[in-house]
Amino acid sequence: MRILVLGATGYLGGPVARRLRALPGARVVVGGRSPGADVPVDLAADRPRDLASTLAAVAPDAVVNCAGATGGDAVTLAEVNARGPAVLCAALREAAPAARLVHLGSAAEYGPGTPGRPVTEAAATSPAGPYGATKLAGTVAVTASGLDAVVLRVGNPVGPGAPSTGLPGRVTALLARAGRDPDTTVRLGDLSAHRDFVDVRDVARAAELAATASGPLPPVLNIGGGEAVAVRELVRRLAGVAGFRGRIVEAGGGGSARSARVSWQCSDITAARDALGWRPAHSLDDSVAALWAAMGAPPRGPEEVPAR
């Protein structure tokens, strides 16, 4: 089986590519802008006919699109998250119409949730900002493409390799710098929001199952932990595994604008279980420990962490 992975150098794409390479009989081809890519692909800039030529040469049985932008201005987000999937679908229809397409979407497409009510794939979408809106546009391009395609709507990923641009990676870096000095104070924004955290390794397993499943799949599948966890609790567990002995201070309105608008999110993951036989294998404690260990630091905790 020949599988083309786009965005394989990213936070989610790396684990996906590694998992697919371990499949017996699989040949993984990496497409992207990095010098190490097997084939050059830039979904934000390539024309459909040029990308179609690249796809025809690869002749993939499946394509897993992990490429995406989580930051930047609205133009950058639209180029990567909205235009990219549309161009990919147009090229696939021309060059490899029978290939299975697995596209990584985002739970941000749903927008604000209702506390105590996990959202199913049939829920209305009302993204709260440009990121969620552009990811939703990409999802629409994929689900309306007529291809053998599925969108995996991923919750808040956590685990080894978390980038410093996201809260888990940023907090981990802050705690590593702080060490065990009891006089250290780490200042963060409002941590009261609830999120559905899912381990990046579980996301990779879902992508593998979706790429190799026989027969058609539902157009959208939620991939999350299936539980709403306070961001404050995630930080507390990170501080525990780091052995942090100082203070964590929430500086009022210092959180992101999106967190203020989306205070609660949780995905119903029943459909992924039914369609793929998938469910999360890693607990939040597993994810936190792996995130800390990936920095090359042994666990120091547990500690009781004062906060206010």
**Model confidence at 307, in pLDDT bands (50, 70, 90)?**
very low
Provide the angle, in degrees to the nearest 10, between the axes of the packed helices 84-95 and 130-143. Answer: 10
Q: Could you read off the pLDDT of 271-291 as tens digits, one per residue?
A: 999 999 999 999 999 999 999
| 114 C-beta neighbours (distance < 10 Å), count | 11
Q: Could you read off the pLDDT of 192-223 as tens digits, one per residue?
A: 999 999 999 999 999 999 999 998 999 999 99
Closest CA to 204 of 33, 11, 1, 36: 11
Q: Is the pLDDT of residue 305 over 90?
A: no
With beta carbons less than 8 A apart as the criterion, state whether 65 and 85 touch.
yes
DSSP 3-state of 32: strand
For the chain, helix, strand, coil in percent to 5 are 40, 20, 45
Q: Could you read off the pLDDT of 44-95 as tens digits, one per residue?
A: 999 999 999 999 999 999 999 999 999 999 999 999 999 999 999 999 999 9
Average pLDDT of 25-31?
Answer: 97
Q: Could you read off the pLDDT of 98-156 as tens digits, one per residue?
A: 999 999 999 999 999 999 999 999 999 999 999 999 999 999 999 999 999 999 999 99
**Model confidence at 308, in pLDDT bands (50, 70, 90)?**
very low
- Give the count of alpha carbons within 13 A of 145, CB side only: 31
Give every CB contact of residue 150 below 8 A, 6+ residues apart in sequence: 100, 101, 102, 103, 210, 217, 218, 219, 220, 221
**Model confidence at 304, in pLDDT bands (50, 70, 90)?**
very low
**pLDDT value, residue 4:** 98
Distance set, CA 230 to CA 27, 49, 283 (Å): 40, 46, 15
**pLDDT value, residue 295:** 82
Token pair recorded at residue 95: 């060059």
Name the burial class of residue 104, with classes exposed (0-12), middle (13-18) and buried (19+) by CB atoms within 10 angstroms of its CB. buried
**Model confidence at 165, in pLDDT bands (50, 70, 90)?**
confident
Task: Please name the amino acid found at residue 272.
Answer: A
**Model confidence at 303, in pLDDT bands (50, 70, 90)?**
very low
Q: Is the pLDDT of residue 258 over 70?
A: no
Q: Is the pLDDT of residue 254 over 90?
A: no
**pLDDT value, residue 53:** 98
Name the burial class of residue 25, with classes exposed (0-12), middle (13-18) and buried (19+) by CB atoms within 10 angstroms of its CB. exposed
Alpha-carbon dihedral 139, 99, 20, 155, rounded to 10 degrees: 10
**pLDDT value, residue 260:** 60
Torsions phi, psi for 148 (to 5 deg)? -80, 85
Closest CA to 27 of 39, 9, 35: 39
Give every CB contact of residue 51 below 8 A, 6+ residues apart in sequence: 41, 43, 87, 88, 90, 91, 95
Out of 46-55, 152-161, 222-231, 243-252, which region has the weakest mean confidence (pLDDT)? Answer: 243-252
Give the separation between CA 231 and CA 197, rounded to whole angstroms.
Answer: 9
